[in-house]
Amino acid sequence: MSKSLKRVIGALEAAGMTADIQELGLARTARQAADVAGCDVDQIAKSMIFRGEASGEAILFLTAGGNQVDTAKASAVAGEALGRADAALVRTQTGFAIGGVAPVGHLNPIRAFLDPRLMEFTQIWAAAGTPHHIFPIHPRKLQRITDAQPAVFII
């Protein structure tokens, strides 16, 4: 088991939740993950990382699988211009590789924002620290353990 997957399991258990990790196989897109999980594509919580231009820090946007982040709206929500987060920043701040960034279990604290579309479901699925693993969670629990602020930042 990878260190990243262990950190996600530890974070979920520390929050009082059971870590019900599911292996995806070769699912690289939200649509493919939804097919494996047997859910709507919008029930996949994508972890999108941007770099704050002023702060230099990674900022996490959790969005429904079928949605795209609007950089201008996301910048307004974050209170600073946003740029592309490179692999080094993502790895340093979160401890995860791009493609498997989990919303929990980060190495360092991260500001997070949540797409309200995710709150319309009783269960959503998020990356579990690898590109090949996901876990189910109630969106309110995800919001609580990530301290993500609900905000409109999609196209």
CB–CB of 115/135 below 8 Å? no
Q: Which of 23-32, 46-55, 75-84, 113-122 has the lowest mean pLDDT?
A: 23-32
Q: Output the pLDDT for position 131.
A: 87
Q: What is the mean pLDDT of the chain?
A: 94
Question: Tokens 């620290």 correspond to what residue?
Answer: 129
How far from the centroid of its chain's Cα atoms is residue 129's Cα?
A: 10
* Residue at 59 is within a domain: yes
CATH code of 91's domain: 3.90.960.10
Q: Output the pLDDT for position 125.
A: 96
* Residue at 108 is within a domain: yes
Is residue 99's pLDDT more than 90? no
Structure tokens at 46: 């994508």
Is residue 1's pLDDT more than 90? no
Is residue 25's pLDDT more than 90? no
Range of the domain at 29: 3-150
43 vs 1: which has the higher pLDDT: 43
Q: pLDDT tens-digit profile of 130-150?
A: 989 999 999 999 999 999 999
What is the count of structural domains for the chain? 1
Q: Output the pLDDT for position 24.
A: 84
Q: Output the pLDDT for position 100.
A: 87
Is residue 26's pLDDT more than 90? no
* Residue at 137 is within a domain: yes
* Residue at 114 is within a domain: yes
Contacts of 14 (CB under 8 A, 6+ apart): none
CB–CB of 154/67 below 8 Å? yes
- The Cα 2–Cα 23 span in angstroms is 13
* Residue at 155 is within a domain: no
